[in-house]
Amino acid sequence: MNNSHQQRIDEFMDEMAERNPNQPEFLQAVKEVVSHIIPFIGEHKKYQKINLLHYIAEPERVIQFRVPWFDDSGTLQVNRGYRVQFSSAMGPYKGGLRFHPSVNLSILKFLGFEQVFKNALTKLPLGGGKGGADFNPKGKSDAEVMRFCQSFMTELYRHIGPDTDIPAGDIGVGAREIGYLFGQYKRISNEFTGTITGKGISWGGTLIRPEATGFGLVYFLKEILAANDKEFKGLRVAVSGSGNVAQFAIQKLIEEGAVVISASDSSGYAYCKDGISQEMLDSLMKVKNEDRGRISDWADGTSEIEYFDDANVWDLSEEYDIALPCATQNEIDESLAEKIKSAGVIAVAEGANMPCTADAIKYFAQNNVMYAPGKATNAGGVAVSGLEMTQNATRVYWSEKKVDKKLRQIMHAIHQQCQNYGKQQNDSVDYEKGANLAAFTKVADSVLAQGLV
């Protein structure tokens, strides 16, 4: 990168920092994207006409609201709810809801910003948004979760709709929460439409939506391996997290013949020397999804699973080939990236959003570890949500085979776009650059065409 581009990036990020104080995650996400876009704009006159970067980095609308609810003891609790409607350049706002105590505006703006680019890569007509609340569903009764979701939706419903904004799940928002949110939306809007995706299959959901993010991640990784004359068979894969994305990534990896050696939660990690079998995965899903238990409960009393309490899975000193971070943002910093490299890893593909810090990504690039960013690799979830919207709008249900085929095609097309825009002189692919530039051209062309300024 030449000095004038670096200077422009620094100036732009200084302005962003001034406009968005105390929003480190949002600034991190913007910097990651503009580092590729600024040099690209320098080479393409049509994007120089207006102040596109400022336009794209400012959310169209941010909604913040009070969420009061009564806990089981009859005490009033108050949480803070948000919806960041980031961009409608390419379609109605679309992105998940996160319920986690760490939720704040910085995290939701980073997720909304990433979502705009991710959704553009799917080539579906979807804008980008994200929302949630600083509510912790962990340890709450079903009745408490229901009352919280109903109160949250009682405010949110006026801002969303099947052609306006279509929320879905994310951390802490799974099948149970989507059910309660949709039920309240339907009741107060008096309509049964596809305003929320991730619905149950008997009430408007699509087949393959629960699996889509994890399956899509593995389909994308398969494309990367194929482009490097490799296949999954026998490869050892470390996975972090044990939620929706991790579970279905593990399932597809097992089907592909890979050996999955780990899963984790925020309390610790489980190491399975000989790999997680389908039977072990079934029991993990039961512990996590039905019993709402911990990874330690899964490991309890089983000789095949070694559990490490209060430990980070990326500290693993065993040898493995592929790292799939599927838990949360910034779980891999530079020192953990070094550990991952020294474990023999050839590729890191992000199941979570922004799980690698900027320094970790730089380390991978400098040390020949292939790196694929979440906005490309985990786009399968939103893609199948887009397919759910199509089925809802046309009042039809598609077969599992049809949805899975479309998911594979979408992940293949995203990989191709990354190759087209990220090809290096030595024929290797910079997936981060490829994803950013492919998505940017779509969003920017839509903005320019609509005369939005």
Applying CB under 6 A, the residues found at the interface with ligand NDP are: 169-172, 174, 213, 241-246, 265-267, 326-328, 351-353, 378, 381
Residue 242 beta carbon to ligand NDP: minimum distance, rounded to whole angstroms: 4
Select 38 or 388, whichever has its Cβ closest to ligand NDP.
Answer: 388
Select 204 or 216, whichever has its Cβ closest to ligand NDP.
Answer: 216
Select 228 or 267, whichever has its Cβ closest to ligand NDP.
Answer: 267
Return left, alpha or beta for 22; rule: phi > 0 is left, psi -120 to 50 is alpha, else beta: left
Residue 378 beta carbon to ligand NDP: minimum distance, rounded to whole angstroms: 4
Q: Which of 175, 171, 331, 310 is nearest to 242 (CA)?
A: 171
Residue 309 beta carbon to ligand NDP: minimum distance, rounded to whole angstroms: 12
How far apart are the C-alpha atoms of 153 and 195, rounded to whole Å? 12
End-to-end CA distance of the chain: 30
Q: Label the pairing between strands 93-99 and 61-70.
A: unpaired
Q: Label the pairing between strands 322-324 and 236-239.
A: parallel
Residue 100 beta carbon to ligand NDP: minimum distance, rounded to whole angstroms: 6
Select 39 or 174, whichever has its Cβ closest to ligand NDP.
Answer: 174
What residues form DSSP beta bridges with 96?
Answer: 168
Which residue out of 130, 140, 186, 442 is catalytically annotated? 130
How far apart are the C-alpha atoms of 328 and 110, rounded to whole Å? 13
Query: Does 46 participate in catalysis according to the annotation?
Result: no
Residue 239 beta carbon to ligand NDP: minimum distance, rounded to whole angstroms: 10
Q: Label the pairing between strands 347-349 and 370-372.
A: parallel
Residue 392 beta carbon to ligand NDP: minimum distance, rounded to whole angstroms: 17
- In angstroms, the Cα distances linking 159 to 92, 188, 317 are 12, 13, 48
Residue 193 beta carbon to ligand NDP: minimum distance, rounded to whole angstroms: 21
Residue 453 beta carbon to ligand NDP: minimum distance, rounded to whole angstroms: 30
- Is there a contact between 124 and 386 (Cβ–Cβ < 8 Å)? yes
- Is there a contact between 13 and 358 (Cβ–Cβ < 8 Å)? no
The CA-based angle 377-367-272, given to 5 degrees, is 60
How far apart are the C-alpha atoms of 365 and 1, rounded to whole Å? 15
How far apart are the C-alpha atoms of 119 and 93, rounded to whole Å? 10
- Is there a contact between 388 and 197 (Cβ–Cβ < 8 Å)? yes
Select 114 or 321, whichever has its Cβ closest to ligand NDP.
Answer: 114
Q: Which residue is nearest to ligand NDP (CB)?
A: 243
- Backbone phi and psi for residue 268, each to the nearest 5 degrees, phi listed first: 170, -170
Residue 341 beta carbon to ligand NDP: minimum distance, rounded to whole angstroms: 21
Select 52 or 223, whichever has its Cβ closest to ligand NDP.
Answer: 223
How far apart are the C-alpha atoms of 323 and 338, rounded to whole Å? 12
Select 171 or 411, whichever has its Cβ closest to ligand NDP.
Answer: 171
Select 39 or 355, whichever has its Cβ closest to ligand NDP.
Answer: 355
Mention every residue, 6+ apart, whose C-beta is less than 8 A from residue 394: none
DSSP line for 31-94: HHHHHHHHHHHHH-GGGGSS-HHHHHTS-SEEEEEEEEEE-TTS-EEEEEEEEEEEE-SSSSEE
Select 242 or 441, whichever has its Cβ closest to ligand NDP.
Answer: 242
DSSP line for 351-389: SSSS-B-HHHHHHHHHTT-EEE-HHHHTTHHHHHHHHHH
Q: What is the CA radius of gyration of the chain?
A: 21
The catalytic site residues sit at 130
